[in-house]
Amino acid sequence: MSVDLAIFKAPTDDALWPVLARINSQFQKERSVNGKLPSCVACQDASTTSWVGGKRTTRSTLWSHARCGSGHGQTGYIYDPANPETSGGLCYRCDKLLLKALLTGKFRCSRDGCRRRVGINEAILRKHIVDTPDLKRALEMIEASKTLDCIVHMDTVKYTTNKPPSSNCKHDQNVCDLCLRTDFESKIQRGPLGAFVCPDLECKEKVPANSVREVIGSKHRYGMKLALLYAQQSSTLEWCKCGRAGQLDDRSTVVWKCTNSKCRRLNCRTCGDLAFDNCFHMRAADETLRRKWENMRDSAKQAVERKRIELREKKQQTQELMMRTTKLCPKRRCGIRIERKSGCAHISCPSCRTEFCWVYKVIWVPGIRHLNTCPMGRYKIIALSQLDKRDYADGWQDDGKYDSSRDEGLYVGGDDW
DSSP assignments along 16-28, one per residue: THHHHHHHHHTTE
The answer to whether the beta carbons of residues 331 and 392 sit under 8 Å apart is: yes
Measure the CA–CA gap between 30 and 357, rounded to whole angstroms. Answer: 99
Give the DSSP H or E segment for 124.
Answer: helix 122-128
Tell me what pLDDT residue 73 has.
78
Tens-level pLDDT at each residue, the chain (417 residues)? 455 556 665 566 667 878 888 887 777 777 666 666 667 777 766 554 444 444 556 777 777 788 887 788 777 666 666 666 556 677 777 778 878 888 887 778 877 778 788 878 788 888 888 777 888 888 888 888 888 888 888 888 887 777 888 888 888 888 888 888 888 877 777 766 667 888 888 888 888 877 887 777 765 666 666 666 666 666 666 777 676 676 766 666 667 777 777 887 777 766 766 566 567 677 777 777 788 888 898 999 999 999 999 999 999 999 999 999 999 999 999 989 999 888 888 999 999 999 999 999 999 998 898 999 988 888 888 999 999 999 999 988 888 889 988 888 888 776 655
If you ran DSSP here, which 8-state letter would residue 206 be given?
A: B
CA 316 to chain CA centroid, Å, is: 46
Residue 331 three-state SS = strand
- Smallest CA-to-CA distance from 90 within 54, 45, 52, 120 is with 45
- pLDDT of 14 reads 66
Q: Count other C-beta atoms under 10 Å from residue 93's C-beta.
A: 21
- Indicate if the alpha-carbon torsion angle 66, 67, 69, 72 is positive or negative: positive
User: Residue ranges of the domains in the chain?
Assistant: 5-145, 147-233, 241-321, 329-417
Topology at the third CATH level for domain 147-233: Herpes Virus-1 (3.30.40)
Nearest Cα neighbor of 368 from 385, 383, 353, 358 is 383
pLDDT the model gives residue 231 = 64
Q: What is the pTM of this model?
A: 0.45
Give the largest Cα separation in the chain, rounded: 127
